[in-house]
Chain A
Amino acid sequence: MSAVAQEPAVVLDRIHKQFGDLVVVRDVSLTVARGEVVAIIGPSGSGKSTLLRCINLLERADSGRVEVVGRAVEPGAGVAGRDLAALRRSVGMVFQSFNLFPHMTVLRNVSLPQERVLGRSRAEADARSRQLLERVGLAAKADTYPSRCSGGQQQRVAIARALALDPEVMLFDEPTSALDPELGLEVLAVMRELAADGMTMVVVTHEIHFAADVADRVVVMADGAVLEEGTPEQVLRSPSTERARRFLSAVVDR
């Protein structure tokens, strides 16, 4: 990890989130430095996706504080529109189900948010979009519709769409879970490059190899709490809790 970081990119301070009586995230605190890549792993239902979604306020934590590049909000106490807009602008997100806009071409998918959110002109936005599509290896797909792209291609477009808003932090919510293993690889390749370029990334994933190779830090969650946290070597090779050991043996020895 590059230790140049001044203020952290993301600070989650005692985040608590429940749906009805079900506590999904239990007082979790997590700090992500600038340029750091954090992988969150854990069994289904462990609250890892919910925690991720608490960062960009797709889920509003019931209590706790969320701070992104120095701007703090307390979702439980209400969020001002201006804070929400600023936060969403500095955080990009990639979903498991891609969520491209199916009625627009690939190029429009990447350009529309730039025009609506950053006020770029159509020409500026398209230029930036083409540059990013080139970067994710999809320049040739600019004028096709998402339905004509493979899942892996759609996910790479979704990454380009998020990057087009020049975010400071990128969130990935199981970006390869809906993909064939081979198609997943092309998405992981793009993510590797992004990490190498110094992007701050928080990745919820089941891809243990990606976590081992790319992440600076691995966080293991279960039952809404953080079980383990450390470098990939520490956490993946010698987990200290029995629960983490059980989960890891299930994914690593597969």
Chain B
Amino acid sequence: MEVLEAVLLGVPVTLLVTVAALALGAVLAVPLAAARRSRVVPLRWLGRVVIDVVRGIPPVVWLFLIFFGLGRDLIRLEPIEAGIIGLGVISAGYLAEIYRGGLSAVHAGQWEAASALGMGGTDTLVRVVAPQAFRVSLPAVTTYAISLLKDSTIVSAIGVSEILFRATQSARSTGAGLTPFFVAAAVYILLSAPLAWLSRGLDARLRARVAR
């Protein structure tokens, strides 16, 4: 019981880190995806390099760089802030590629029709293409969100007191062996399953309304 309580204390922190990092990534991914699809070649190239670098560096290295590098010398960052920024930046790289895939999945005829109707580029993107790209991207975004939820355990490495951190502490202090980790595993399943169900239901409904 003691173990369960200890692990549950980490749930709000895990959720905060996951949701905040996902939100940060979702926003930062927009300019990255735009750069990847730009007509300007150097911009396209830059977008690609940024995405590859962001995804190529292991998450834990990102966290150390941000927390011990940036966080100590330039500005003071709390571990949780550094964790959110680090996972947010990594998410931006992955989400940008997901957005890009969603945008290319929208039939070229949609751009043409809007253009023939006299609608401008931004209008077409916002009103016509992006809503459809969103529908196509949703399953991939949810899958990413679920894996981010689990990967957020990594922020325990810089001392953020999320689920794994609490479980480790509990294992050490109570001598309960593996029990705290089993509890943590169950909690993760309980957190991620609803997300997966929700996504499947939504996907089926939204998919009917995409041109292909």
A positions within 8 Å CB-CB of B = 56, 58, 85, 88-89, 91-93, 95, 97, 99-103, 112-113, 116-117, 145, 147, 158, 161-162, 165
Contact = CB atoms under 8 A, between A and B. Distances in A.
B118 A89 contact: yes
Contact of B118 (A100, A102, A113, A145): A113
B135 A103 contact: yes
A60 to B, nearest CB: 12
Contacts of B132: 102-103
B119 interface: yes
Contacts of B131: 103
Contacts of A97: 107, 109
A139 to B, nearest CB: 21
Main secondary structure of the interface of A (DSSP, over half): mixed
Which 7 pairs of residues, A with B, have the shortest CB-CB distance?
Answer: A99-B113, A88-B118, A99-B109, A93-B116, A113-B117, A117-B118, A103-B209
Contacts of A145: 208-209
Contacts of A165: 117-118
B128 interface: yes
Given A101-B110, A101-B128, A112-B127, A88 B210 contact: no
A88 B112 contact: no
A231 to B, nearest CB: 29
B39 to A, nearest CB: 14
B104 interface: no
Contacts of A116: 119-120, 123, 127
A117 B113 CA distance: 13
